């Protein structure tokens, strides 16, 4: 086993963060990132609704 | 259990003189712990500015990444953190939420360790979801919040290697976890 270095850390811009949120909201929940944000902030969906809601919600700060 | 102290491990072994120094130490620590199990990259955002709104650290877009080993497990990791100044300890990073999910390749999530004190969920303490298809009265086990206390990323790595037949990617993984926990 070789000695490894640490993993790459990438600093995302807010635009890149928004794109990532949109990609993952569509991939996991079938809605846009913007729709996810609106419904999350309105309390219409929460972390307990289904397993992937929390997965997507964790991305929200990256989108600014 | 306190909302604010749950994830309060200081992420820098020495007091940081600036927010940037504290954040860089935190990010380096997480990256180093993850390197025990995966080569996946980590995305971060928000820079180094202290604010009430949390910053995010996300491994591989929060997708499940394959781990090495006969158990064919996957791992997804993300954390939220805040940056605060303490009069005695300088600038520090504190976790504000976490999501650690261990899954089975081609099957999905098995174990999900959550802490989301800022969400709409009434459950604000750290908990575990066991994604088993078992009904308990009117509830499914997968939706039950099993209390855990705070879970560190180091705990997840240790669990994976020691109990779940995941093969570490670096030979110094035990030392690394030990140093982080010191």
Token pair for A46: 């929460």
Q: How confident is the model at residue A4 (pLDDT cuts 50, 70, 90)?
A: low
- ipTM value: 0.92
Query: For A21-35, how does the pLDDT look when each residue is reduced to its tens digit (9 = 90+)?
Result: 999 999 999 999 999
For chain A, strand residue ranges (E) read 9-11
pLDDT digits (tens, 9 = 90+) for B94-140: 999 999 999 999 889 999 999 999 878 889 999 999 998 899 898 88
- Tell me the per-residue pLDDT of B140-175, one tens digit each, with 9 for 90 and over: 899 999 999 999 999 999 999 999 999 999 999 999
Whole-number pLDDT of residue B2: 37
Chain A interface disruption, residue of B116, B118, B120, B177, most A CBs within 10 A: B120
- Contact of A42 with chain B, judged by CB distance below 8 Å, is answered with no
State the DSSP code for B178: H
Residue A1 has what pLDDT?
Answer: 57
Task: Say if A38 is an interface residue toward chain B (CB within 8 Å).
Answer: no
Global pTM reads 0.92
Distances (CA, A) of B141 to B105, B144, B146: 21, 5, 9
Higher pLDDT: B3 or B155? It is B155
Query: At a CB cut-off of 8 Å and minimum separation 6, what does B39 contact?
Result: A4, A7, B169
Give the range among B7-16, B21-30, B40-49, B63-72 with minimum mean pLDDT: B7-16
- Range B83-91 average pLDDT: 88
pLDDT for res A6? 80
Q: Which residues of B touch A12 (CB under 8 A)?
A: 43-45
């Amino acid at each position: 086993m070789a000695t490894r270095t640490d993993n790459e850390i990438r600093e995302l811009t807010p635009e890149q963060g928004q794109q990532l949120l949109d990609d993952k909201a569509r991939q996991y929940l079938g809605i846009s990132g913007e729709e996810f944000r609106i419904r999350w902030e309105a309390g219409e969906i929460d972390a307990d609704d289904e397993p992937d809601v929390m997965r997507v919600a964790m991305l929200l700060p990256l989108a600014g | 259990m306190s909302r604010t102290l749950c994830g309060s491990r200081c992420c820098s072994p020495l007091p940081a003189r600036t927010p940037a120094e504290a954040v860089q130490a935190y990010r380096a620590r997480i990256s180093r712990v993850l390197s025990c199990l995966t080569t996946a990259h980590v995305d971060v955002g928000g820079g180094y500015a202290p604010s009430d709104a949390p910053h995010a650290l996300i491994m591989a877009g929060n997708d499940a990444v394959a781990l090495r080993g006969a158990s064919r497990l996957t791992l997804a990791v993300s954390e939220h953190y805040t940056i605060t100044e303490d009069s005695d300890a300088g600038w520090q990073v504190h976790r504000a939420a976490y999501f650690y999910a261990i899954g089975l390749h081609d099957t999905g999530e098995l174990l999900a360790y959550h802490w989301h004190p800022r969400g709409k969920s009434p459950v604000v303490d750290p908990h575990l979801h066991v994604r088993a298809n078992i009904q308990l009265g009117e509830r499914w086990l997968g939706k039950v919040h099993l209390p855990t206390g705070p879970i560190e990323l180091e705990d997840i790595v240790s669990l994976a290697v020691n109990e779940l037949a995941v093969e570490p990617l670096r030979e110094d993984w035990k030392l690394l976890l030990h140093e982080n926990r010191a």
